Structure formats: structure tokens, C-alpha cells
Amino acid sequence: MPRKKPTARSYALVSLGCPKNLVDSERMAGLLDLQGYRMVAQPEGAEVVVVNTCGFIADARAESYEAIEEMLRLKKRGRVGRVIVTGCLAERDKARLLEKYPEIDQSLGVFARDEIATTLGRLERGEHEQRGVFRPAPSCPLPDTGRRRVTLGHLAYLKIAEGCNRLCSFCSIPQMRGPYASKPVEQVVAEAEELAADGVRELVLVAQDTTFYGLDIYGEPRLAELLRRLTEVRQLAWIRLMYLYPMHVTDELIEVLAAGSKVLPYLDLPLQHINDEVLGRMRRRVERQAIEQLLDQLRRRIDGLVLRTTMMAGFPGETEEQFAELLEFVVRRRFERLGVFVFCPEPGTPAEQLDGQLPDAVKQSRRDRLMAAQQEIAFAWNAAQVGRHMDVMIDRRVAGQPPAYVGRTYADAPEIDGQIYVTGEGLRPGEIVSCEVVAAEGYDLIGIWNHP
């Protein structure tokens, strides 16, 4: 096969990690587009490859290193021109990353994101002296306007804040993303309006902690107010909330969630554990009683509520009795959606130094037991939806099939939850239609749409 030489002023984007990182990737792509660069679908043949990395946990870092190495192999063979590494891993490792991979042309930290085009311009002029650009966390988050979106046309993530003040003992995010900084309400609304004008119908709000929103700049939580303002954006149909820390869930916020407006009755509420001693070692600053009371209140006041949470198995010092308490809690509370992480000691975090580090086999076994219990709960919930009519956001048509489509109900966040497969004629991505659920297949549903 003949060698595919890099095409002038073309770039490819490799975006890893969470939706917050994806927003950064889309912002960088938009800035490159403004300078006349052209995005290509595959790295091979691109003049520039931007690898936006994740540094959150060991598995994510391994994936980032693998992606960097793959792009450098392509560069060595002349299949790509330059390799620029950005994002959380670049921020975390700084000079160490360039020492490990001297073939990297440029490394940009998290808050040097908006310098992507000027950095590339320096490289084109042969200015190679400054190979790493790192900036301090700004007091106000960088704007996320002018993005070139790589998600489905009708779906977008919107960052409402940057950074985190929680300092959980197992988490390194504050080291990479800095302290919590909310975007002003008007800025978030303006960004939402821009996305809506670009065809977005489902807006997914993300931050490290969405319930903390507003406390740093207004002195009080303002998520409820923000949601009310966003529901006024006419083109939006669904607004989904992710990453709600259990503190600062106010009565006003619950009222907005219960109102049955565009804000979906879907909450992503990461809890991590339920045993008070473990929560204390995690530095979660919340206790079991408060969590139980919050869950009771949410279930009582919000009709049709779907709750997603995450738990951590095998935190240092977790006894079998404490794990059994967590397992009993999960079985009793019956979260519709739940994921489980195995504890991984992150370098530089307090949890890395805690006594009672557990063997990998114990941690994995506990994770598997939690997931086995959750699978029964999730499958039972899906089975209970059979016979219902549910609104479905159509995401895409299934290629090569009779009129069949993949969509999601309000209970399904993109990428992390299940899907519903729909048969019907003439549906379009971004359309919301009422479908009859006729079957459940594991974590997914099967539905039929009959044109009225």
C-alpha cells in the first residue's frame, strides 16, 4: 500500500476521557477551524493530530499513553506530521511527559487549551523552543463558545463550571483542574443558546459538582435558577443533569426537577459508599443519614425519577462488614442505573498513603458482587417498562436494517446508559416520538413507533 502523506492544514482529533474533556476538544477544534485548518476523520494523513488526554485514573492514563504512542508511531512512519498532546494527562505530567516522549511536538495544559491555534502557528514557523505551555487556573472558566461539535447533531454537553473544591482523599482532579469556578448564569445561557441555534435539542449539563454551582460567585447555590433560565431556550427539548454531589440539593432545585418541564427526572448522584467510616476516610463530608433522607425526599417528590450513582469497591480499610452494608444498601435502594469503580491508589492523593490497602482480587470480587446485584435490579426495571409508552429521542438510523433506529428514553444518558431500538418509518435523528415498549433485552429496550 502506498504511503499516505499528510495533507496540508489538516488535523485529526483524538478525544479521551469524560464529557468535560470532550467540550475542551470541541472548543480546540472550533479554534482550528477558524484558522483555516480542516478536520479529517482519521489520524493517518493528517498534518496535525491533537490527542486530548485523560489523567483521572490509572486505566485512563494507560489509554492516553497508548494513544500518544500510536500517534508517534504514525509520525515516525511519515503518516502524520505533528503530534500535539493536551488535556489532563499533559497538565498532570507536564515536563515528565515530554521527557518520556521527546517526539511530541507540543504539550498544552488544561488551561492553555485556547492557545492551540497560536501554538500550531509557532510550530509551522519553526519555533520549537517552548514545547510545553501551562497556565494557572483562571478565576472564571474559559468560554466554550465556537465549538466544532463531534457529538450527534442534536446532543451537546455544556460545562457550567470548572475545577473542584471537594478534595476527596482518592481524587486527583483538583490537582489538574484547579479550584471550583462557576460560569456566570448569563454566560451559560448564552452558550446554550448558541448550541440550540446549531440544532441541539438535548443539553447535558456537566461539572465536577453541579450542585455546587454558583456558591463561589454568588454565595449560594444557583443551579435551580440556571435551570429555569435554560428552560426558556425555545429550541431545547431535554435538559439532563450529571455529577450532582449529594450536598447542596436544595428544596428549590427539587421543585424545578419535579415541575415536569424540560429538565428530565434523571439525576446522576455519585455516592461512592454508604458506610460512615468509609465515607469519612474518603473525605466525602456527608453521612449515611443525610444520604438516606435525601434519597427519600427525591423519590417522594419527583415522579418517575431515575437515579444513577457510582460506588467504589475496596477502598483502603473497607472491611467485609462495611462492604456488606454497601451491598445491602444498593439492593434495598434499587438505583435504576449504577456503576462501580475498583479503588485505585492515585499518586499524590491522601488515599494512596492510607493503611489497609486491599489485594486486587478482593477489590475485584467486591466490584463483581455489586454489579451482579445491580444487574438484577436494572433488568427488572427494564422488564417493568414493557407495555408502557415512552418518549424516545431518536439518535440514529441502524444502517443496513429495515426501518430501525437507535434512541434513548429520559432514563438513558448518552454513552453510559442503555438504548432503545425502535422500528418505524420516516424517523429523523433529534426527533422525540412516543413509542410502545414491547420487549426488554438486558440493559436495552425494544420499541415500536406507529405514525399517528
Provide the residue ranges of all domains of the chain, joining segments of one domain with +.
7-133, 155-384, 389-448
For all residues of the chain together, what is the average pLDDT? Answer: 93
CA-based nearest residue to 230, from 274, 185, 198? 185
Q: What is the pLDDT of residue 402?
A: 74
- Higher-scoring residue by pLDDT: 58, 323: 323
pLDDT in tens, 133-143: 889 888 889 99
CA-based nearest residue to 89, from 109, 59, 73? 109
Cell of 292: 438516606
How many percent of the chain have pLDDT more than 90?
83
Q: What mean pLDDT comes out for the span 144-165?
A: 95
- Cβ atoms of 377 and 335 within 8 Å: the answer is yes
pLDDT band of residue 33 (cuts 50, 70, 90) is very high
Q: What is the pLDDT of residue 452?
A: 65
pLDDT band of residue 131 (cuts 50, 70, 90) is confident
How many percent of the chain have pLDDT more than 70?
98
* Residues in the chain, overall count: 452
Q: What is the pTM of this model?
A: 0.94
DSSP H/E element including 226 = helix 223-230
Q: Which amino acid is at 273?
A: H
Cell of 151: 457529538
Q: What is the pLDDT of residue 400?
A: 78
The conformation of residue 106, written as its DSSP 8-state character, comes to E
pLDDT in tens, 266-306: 999 999 999 999 999 999 999 999 999 999 999 999 999 99
- Which CATH superfamily does the domain covering 389-448 fall into? Nucleic acid-binding proteins (2.40.50.140)
Is the pLDDT assigned to residue 3 strictly greater than 60? Answer: no
Return all residues near 443 (Cβ < 8 A) that are at least 6 apart.
378, 379, 382, 417, 418
Largest interatomic CA distance in the chain: 66
Q: What is the pLDDT of residue 2?
A: 45
Q: What mean pLDDT comes out for the span 354-379?
A: 97
Is the pLDDT assigned to residue 314 strictly greater than 90? Answer: yes
Cα dihedral 281, 284, 287, 293 in deg (nearest 10): -160
- Which CATH superfamily does the domain covering 155-384 fall into? tm_1862 like domain (3.80.30.20)
Is the pLDDT assigned to residue 1 strictly greater than 50? Answer: no
Is the pLDDT assigned to residue 369 strictly greater than 80? Answer: yes
CA-based nearest residue to 338, from 371, 315, 292? 371
pLDDT band of residue 4 (cuts 50, 70, 90) is low
Is the pLDDT assigned to residue 191 strictly greater than 50? Answer: yes
pLDDT in tens, 209-257: 999 999 999 999 999 999 999 999 999 999 999 999 998 999 999 999 9
Q: What angle do CA 316, 318, 321 make, to 5 degrees?
A: 170
Helices 251-258 and 288-301, packing angle to 10 deg: 30
167-181, 326-340, 414-428: least confidently modelled range: 167-181
Is the pLDDT assigned to residue 176 strictly greater than 50? Answer: yes
- Which CATH superfamily does the domain covering 7-133 fall into? Methylthiotransferase, N-terminal domain (3.40.50.12160)
